[in-house]
Amino acid sequence: MDCNCKKLRDDIAAGRIKSAEAVEAVFDTIEKNDSKIGSYISTFKEQAIANSKQLDEKISTGKSAGILAGTPIAIKDNMCTTFGATSCASKMLENFHAPYNATVVEKLISAGAIIIGKTNMDEFAMGSSTENSALLKTVNPWNTQCVPGGSSGGSAAAVAAGMCSAALGSDTGGSIRQPASFCGVVGLKPTYGRVSRFGLVAFGSSLDQIGPITQNVTDAALMMNVIAGHDPADSTSVDEKTAPVCDCLEKIDEPIGNLKIAVVPQFNTGADGDVQKAINEAIEVYKKMGAEIVEIDMPHLEYSVAVYYIVATAEASGNLARYDGVHYGHRAEDIENYIDVYCKSRAAGFGKEVKRRIMLGTYALSSGYYDAYYLKALKVRNLIRGDFLRAFEKCDCVLIPTCPTTAFKFGEKMDDPLKMYLSDVYTIAANLAGVPAISIPCGFDGNDLPIGLQLMAPAFGEDKLLRIARMFESKTDWHKRRPPII
């Protein structure tokens, strides 16, 4: 069964397919394949089927069932739910049961989505391969020797392997787009402030955004229509007056006239040959559709990784201070005094990468180093944002690869954190500047691993960005290929 979101929704709403059938079919696929892939940390089969049956009844009586009417959706395990645990793939929160739902979860439910499970990730969203999960190993559905990318690796793998209609991920430095690229699916990081972060377990609060991972661009637009919008519970979510929410789906198939796309000379080198070739071909596709390609200098982008690993870790060191074994979460056993509760519980509850980043962030904020690292990083961040503001005066979007490589092998970068960090070089800038960015499939390398094309647009321009992405998708078939495992 083709389980892409929009089509399935239309079928269910029209009564051609029952939601319960769709949900059961997805669970069949999960039961058949997820032992190999490892997308889900937890699933809610009984609850999901019960909910879908209720929805079917609603639909049969002619009532509207919401714009996601009965479609099976997965969410990353760093979004709070009152059902199941919210583990962040960490021993620290393995048994944490949130007493509330994240705003996006509430929005999904009221749109009629059936939440089928929570997906694997790098612990606390820190990583680029999902290898940092303390609970589960997720493989790339295209090649099980390779990582699915990260940190939303479980969500991307689940979408690629047809184990849900669509999924939510979170993106702090590329954690939606990079795994989407590695798994050959679509991943959108919305503008900072467009989607509520309430209930998203924070990593780098000024960078984190929740976004959709889907089989195609249209589904991403549909998901955005569900999750975007102001939330009074999140002070950093932008109000309707400042930036009204647009209907992303309405004109999704309308191409944009006089399209101007910018390429960045600084990022023209450095990617693998196959990746660069695919990007160049993508540029040709746009040219054929009448787009004008302009070259724009963005001289500060090369500092993105440096800035990011200070800003994100500094914020993380604060955000993760609360996991101390006092009020919730893991508490170590061999405790002698109250200081032990902290030091030992955190030592046992956190994995290595989390510890490394807490250490780095604490160092960058500590007295004597603050100005040289944290403050300097905030200043360079402003320069990077300036690059984008200037670029968008001259173009509709910026086009670069999502990643310099395709999916890499397990263990390849685990010993060298810096090498791992540098693989985020193309995705980080959008988070630092707060602009929306999307990754869409644009080819395969010599090993049949998917390649992602990244488009970045001005803040709150998701509707236009999705249309530009859809233009490419409508002329190509890359998104229709499915991994060999299913």
Partner 1 sequence: MPRFFFWMAEVMSKKIDAELVKKVAKLSRLELTETEVAEFANQLSAILDYVEKMEQLDTTDVQPLAHCLPISNCLRDDCAKPSLGTEKILENAPDTDGDFFKVPKILD
Partner 2 sequence: MENLEYKIIVGLEIHVQLLTKSKMFCSCAISFGERANSRVCPVCVGMPGSLPVMNKKAVELSALAGMALNCKIAKFTKWDRKSYYYPDLPKNYQISQYDLPLAAAGFIEIPLENGQTKTIRITRAHLEEDAGKNLHTTGNFSQVDLNRAGTPLLEIVTEPDLSSAAEVRSLAVELQRIVRYLGVSEADMQKGHMRFEPNVNLHITKDGKEYKTPIAEIKNLNSFRAIERSVDYEVQRQLDEFSRTGITMETGNKTTRGWDDDAGKTVLQREKEEANDYRYFPDPDLVPVEFTDSWLAEIRAGLCEMPIKRQLRFVNEYDLSDYDAGVLTAERTTADFFEEAVKSGGQSKRVCNLLTQVGLKMANEANCSAAELGITAENLAKLAKMADGGQISATAAKTIMEKMTQTADEPKVIAEQLNLIQKNDTAELEVIVEKILAENAKAVEDVKSGGKKSKAAKGFLLGQVMQKTKGRANPKVVAEILERKL
Q: Is 175 a catalytic residue?
A: yes
Distance CA(258)–CA(303), nearest Å, equals 32
Among 306, 370, 444, 481, binds partner 1 (CB under 8 A): 306
Phi, psi of 418 (to 5 degrees): -60, -40
Residue 410 is a binding residue for partner 1 (CB under 8 A) = no
Q: Is 151 a catalytic residue?
A: yes
Distance CA(352)–CA(182), nearest Å, equals 24
Q: Where are the alpha helices (DSSP H) in 325-411?
A: 338-349, 352-365, 376-394
The residue among 324 and 387 lying less far from partner 2, judged by its C-beta, is 324
The stretch near partner 1 (CB under 8 A) out of 62-70, 108-116, 138-146, 333-341 is 333-341
The minimum distance between CB 78 and partner 2, in angstroms, equals: 8
Q: How far is CA 229 from the centre of its chain?
A: 18
Query: Which listed residue (151, 165, 304, 345) is catalytic?
Result: 151
Rg (CA), the chain: 21
Using an 8 Å Cβ cutoff, are 321 and 345 in contact? no
The minimum distance between CB 106 and partner 2, in angstroms, equals: 13
* Chain positions contacting partner 2, by CB under 8 A: 78-80, 86, 88, 93, 96, 98-100, 102, 197-202, 204-206, 232-236, 314-315, 317-318, 321-324, 326-328, 338, 341-342, 362, 365-367, 370, 374
Whose CA is closest to 72, among 99, 44, 37?
44
The minimum distance between CB 381 and partner 2, in angstroms, equals: 12
Query: Which listed residue (175, 237, 304, 345) is catalytic?
Result: 175
The stretch near partner 1 (CB under 8 A) out of 3-11, 59-67, 217-225, 343-351 is 343-351
The residue among 232 and 411 lying less far from partner 2, judged by its C-beta, is 232
C-alpha dihedral (317, 318, 321, 327), degrees to nearest 10: -150
| Number of shown-chain residues binding partner 1 (CB under 8 A) | 71
Distance CA(434)–CA(203), nearest Å, equals 15
Q: What distances in angstroms separate CA 84 from CA 4, 42, 95, 163, 197, one per listed residue? A: 25, 7, 9, 19, 20
Q: Is 277 a catalytic residue?
A: no
The minimum distance between CB 200 and partner 2, in angstroms, equals: 6
The residue among 270 and 318 lying less far from partner 2, judged by its C-beta, is 318
Distance CA(189)–CA(439), nearest Å, equals 9
Residue 330 is a binding residue for partner 1 (CB under 8 A) = yes
- Per partner kind, with CB cut-offs from 5 to 8 A, the member of partner 1, partner 2, none near residue 204 is partner 2
- Per partner kind, with CB cut-offs from 5 to 8 A, the member of partner 1, partner 2, none near residue 18 is none
The stretch near partner 1 (CB under 8 A) out of 62-70, 208-216, 261-269, 299-307 is 299-307
- Per partner kind, with CB cut-offs from 5 to 8 A, the member of partner 2, partner 1, none near residue 82 is none
- Per partner kind, with CB cut-offs from 5 to 8 A, the member of partner 1, partner 2, none near residue 246 is none
Residue 380 is a binding residue for partner 1 (CB under 8 A) = yes
Query: Which listed residue (76, 107, 344, 464) is catalytic?
Result: 76
Residue 35 is a binding residue for partner 1 (CB under 8 A) = no
Using an 8 Å Cβ cutoff, are 33 and 486 in contact? yes
The span from the first CA to the last CA of the chain, in angstroms, equals 12
Whose CA is closest to 212, among 233, 190, 240?
190
Q: What distances in angstroms separate CA 5 from CA 143, 150, 186, one per listed residue? A: 25, 23, 12
Classified as helix, coil or strand, 271 is coil
- The catalytic site residues sit at 76, 151, 175
